[in-house]
Structure 1
Amino acid sequence: MRALLVVNPKATTTSGRTRDVLIHALRSDLKLEVAETQYRGHAGDLARRAAEDGWVDLVVALGGDGTVNEVVNGLLAHGPSERVPRLAVVPGGSTNVFARALGLPNDPVEATGALLDALEQRRERAIGLGKAFTEGEPDRWFTFTAGLGFDAGVVGRVEEQRRSGRKSTHALYVNQALRHYVTEREHRRRGPITLEINGLEPVPGLVLSIVSNTSPWTYLGSRPVLPSPRASFETHLDIFGITRMTAFGTARTVRQILRSHTPADGQAEAPGPTGKHVVSYHDVRHFTLVSQEPAPFQVDGDHLGDRSRVSFTGVRRALRVIV
């Protein structure tokens, strides 16, 4: 099988020696070409050219969720089709939500072993993805999450810290979330975002809006964070929002999204967080988030600036993944 390995040399959890071992292992089973990313967006450019040229059957992303997102957007630059190469992931970031949601080991060496076994057994899975649309901006596919408002603001703060030399850690995210909570006092009481779903009454006043393509949304260390526990790669998109972030209510919601969600007696599916200010929708194909003022926007943990209107759609069986 002909394959392209897209390597992020700045991946958080892989050293040069580890990458050399992984490349050697992959070359034992694949006709492998290796390309290291050199700038933001380079992984997408490499994947797009590979898909357009038609010379590879498989693109392997070695890096974190940002690298994976770029590769996915490159592969699907012209939309889903049977001609699009398959995707495989070797986790190399600090959190690796997408890889872990697929059931892959979080260790890159173990994940490489699982990948080689999957290739030998010809195991693959067609997964659904989300797509975000903003007028005047490029469309953006996402693998596990997108967000407009408070959560995207936290992502933006973390990226600022990383640009100043701070290492991406779970402690950094928690610290910046607390700082953002303190500084966003006015928006915590009533948010500027309205959720619009065809056929339903608009839901105004959202402070936070998290769009999930799978569950969990992210991880806090080894603990999954579950705002939309029913989201999956087999359904369309889930939406979780909060219309007011009081200290007590926010603490209650945080406890809910950190707990394990299992179906209660007589229930077919696990419930999600509940509360007076909680908004939740499951398996929605199309919807739009509209903000009264430009609000922070993120996809797969990548801050994309401020947006006033973003539409979303879920696309089932958009991409084939080796698992």
Structure 2
Amino acid sequence: MRALLVVNPKATTTSARTRDVLTHALRSDLKLEVAHTQYRGHARDLARQAADDGAVDLVVALGGDGTVNEVVNGLLAHGPGERVPRLAVVPGGSTNVFARALGLPNHPVEATGVLLDALDQRRERPVGLGKAMTEGLPDRWFTFTAGLGFDAGVVGRVEEQRRAGRKSTHALYVGQALRHYVTEREHRRAGPVTLEIPGRAPTPGLVLTIVSNTSPWTFLGNRPVYPSPLASFDTDLDVFGITRMTAFGTARTVRQILRSHTPSKDDAQAAGPLGKHAISYHDVRHFTLVSQEPAPFQVDGDHLGDRSRVSFTGVRRALRVIV
């Protein structure tokens, strides 16, 4: 099988030696070309070129969720189709939500072993993805989450810290979330975002809106976080929102999203956090988030600036993934 390995040399949890070992292991089973990313968006460009050329059957992303997102957007630059190369992931970031949601080990060497076994056994699965659309800007595919409002503001703060030289850690995210909570006092009481779902009354005043394509939403170390426990690669999108973030209500929500949850076939509705100011929707194909003022926007943990209106759609069986 012809394959392209897209390597992020700045991946948080891999060393140059580890990457060399993984490359050698993959070359034992694949006709492998290796490309290292050199700038933001390079992984997308490499994957798009591979898809356009038709020269490879598989693109392997070695890096974190940002690298995976770029590769996915490159592969799907012209939309899903039978000629789109398959995707494989070797986790190398600090959190690796997409890889872990697929059931892959969080260690790159162990994940490479699983990948080689999957290739030998010809194991793959189709996964659904989300797509975010803003007028005048390119569409953006996402693998596990998007958000408009509070959570995206936290992501923006973390990226500022990383540009200043801070290492991406779970402690950094928690610290910046607490800082953002303190500084966003006005928006905690009355959010600017309205959720519009066709056939339903609009839900205004959202402080936080989390769009999930799978569950869990993220991890704190090895602890999964579940704002939308029923979200799945096999369904459309889930939405969780909060219309007011009081100290007591926020603490209760945090406790609820950190509790363990095992979805069952008998679940009739989203078993997300409950409360006076919480809203949850499961398996929604199309909806729009509209903000009264430009609000922070993120996809797969990548801050994309401020947006006033973003439409979302769930696309089932958008990509084939080696697992």
Same fold (TM over 0.5): yes
- For residues 90-169 of structure 1, what are the structure 2 equivalents within 5 Å? 90-169=90-169
Q: Give, in angstroms, the shift of residue 272 of structure 1.
A: 1.6
The aligned amino acid for 1:176 is Q
Q: Give, in angstroms, the shift of residue 267 of structure 1.
A: 4.9
Is contact 2:228-2:270 (8 Å) kept?
Answer: no
Distance in 2, Cα, partners of 1:288 & 1:269? 21
The equivalent residue for 1:260 is 260
The equivalent residue for 2:274 is 274
Distance in 2, Cα, partners of 1:189 & 1:248? 13
Distance in 1, Cα, partners of 2:96 & 2:306? 25
| Residues 43 and 267 of structure 1: CA distance in aligned 2, closer, same or farther (over 3 Å) | closer
Structure 2: 5+ residue runs without aligned partners? none
- For residues 1-323 of structure 1, what are the structure 2 equivalents within 5 Å? 1-262=1-262, 267=267, 271-323=271-323
Is contact 1:261-1:270 (8 Å) kept?
Answer: no
C-alpha RMSD of the superposition: 1.2
Deviation readout 1:73-120 (Å, 9 max, x if unpaired): 000000000000000000000000000000000000000000000000
Distance in 2, Cα, partners of 1:11 & 1:114? 20
Q: Give, in angstroms, the shift of residue 262 of structure 1.
A: 3.8
Deviation readout 1:246-296 (Å, 9 max, x if unpaired): 0000000000000012469x7567722100000100000000000000000
The aligned amino acid for 2:71 is V
Distance in 1, Cα, partners of 2:217 & 2:172? 17
Is contact 1:263-1:270 (8 Å) kept?
Answer: no
The aligned amino acid for 1:245 is M
TM-score, with structure 2 as normaliser: 0.98
The aligned amino acid for 1:244 is R
Q: Give, in angstroms, the shift of residue 69 of structure 1.
A: 0.1
The count of residues paired between Structure 1 and Structure 2 equals 323
TM-score, with structure 1 as normaliser: 0.98
Distance in 2, Cα, partners of 1:267 & 1:162? 40
Is contact 2:4-2:32 (8 Å) kept?
Answer: yes
Distance in 1, Cα, partners of 2:26 & 2:305? 37
| Residues 147 and 267 of structure 1: CA distance in aligned 2, closer, same or farther (over 3 Å) | closer
List, as ranges, runs of 4+ consecutive aligned residues in structure 1 with deviation greater than 3 Å.
Answer: 266-270
Q: Give, in angstroms, the shift of residue 155 of structure 1.
A: 0.1
Structure 1: 5+ residue runs without aligned partners? none
The aligned amino acid for 1:212 is S
Distance in 2, Cα, partners of 1:80 & 1:63? 23
Return 35-44 or 266-275, whichever deviates more. Answer: 266-275
Deviation readout 1:162-193 (Å, 9 max, x if unpaired): 00000000000000000000000000001000
